[in-house]
Chains A and B, each alone.
Chain A
């Protein structure tokens, strides 16, 4: 029984899924001045903030999550009450932002049990998993296991992260000059910036009333067990090959990669090398797009945001350009980065990458609905 995605919702600095994708097609970036932290002390001047319609900034990650879960369930028409539904929330920083405010909070508010149950009161289980920037990919992998093994009827895989001062201070320390915009795969990239955001996808073994958005074919996971921050080509290659192997699709069948593309010195050449090596060694290779120039690095939500974008590419027959990319890096020579304007394409198979600090990697393969 194929596992399908029947609902998907995202929230970024560019709005919901529909408006985010529309902005991506127009090549718009949502970057702006950093809010809620002292830029001069952090060496970080810019960020990708969500519209403050959610009211107040404390527990932003929780509130974005609740909002995305509600929207994804509505789209899927999932009957939560009569089915065993598990919610898995992937996150990098949990609610550490709320801790940093110094105001009292209960320890369980660090996780997303109550935020998830606000949207899905009848959930059989809510799990928060913390796997850095590939947390959303880990949530997808677990979700597919739970549905395919029959342990759950449906799983909502979600991801959410706001910003924390400690994380901002960390990214400020790794660049010489403050970054003004994320430029994925650009020769002149200057580093990463954080983006507030959340995403949720509904995964079921049998499509409900809603038309499936995509088939969830596979997710390959790996752990480098190497460096704290530097990506290991061998480690991410293992995840990519495992994902392809499980998907039953050949490398040449992949039409699109929605790349991790953080715009950092180390990620982009390694990722470009991986795509060239695994997917483009026997032919022209897939189209490549990436969203972090437009919406920043949404950490826990980033893998699922990329999934949403990949599914919209399948539906629209159109791949948005990489916002921020002007001159591709040398390591990407010969690769088909989408730049400048959207590229029409029939996307049957898409790959989504997410790599996290600590060397935790996830690569997901999606198929277009029949």
Chain B
């Protein structure tokens, strides 16, 4: 078994869950986003998004802040440094597994 394949076993299971992977990908691309934007981008229900954000917050991957833009209340979410590094590591492992030497030669 190749090393890159074995590395798949060490994938971060918090990020690996599809809904959470979507959330983390969006937050990785923007510096911060609010609840409605994440809901629209990921196509999740309010309850679903809340529970996944809570899980990510629990792992300290995501920082959730309640604030205001003018009079409009915002729940702003952003990736923490730990979350950013974990996502980068996750992406590296997936890249290595899917673009291994056999595919790289083509």
**Chain A partners chain B:** no
- The interface of chain A, by Cβ under 8 A from chain B, is none
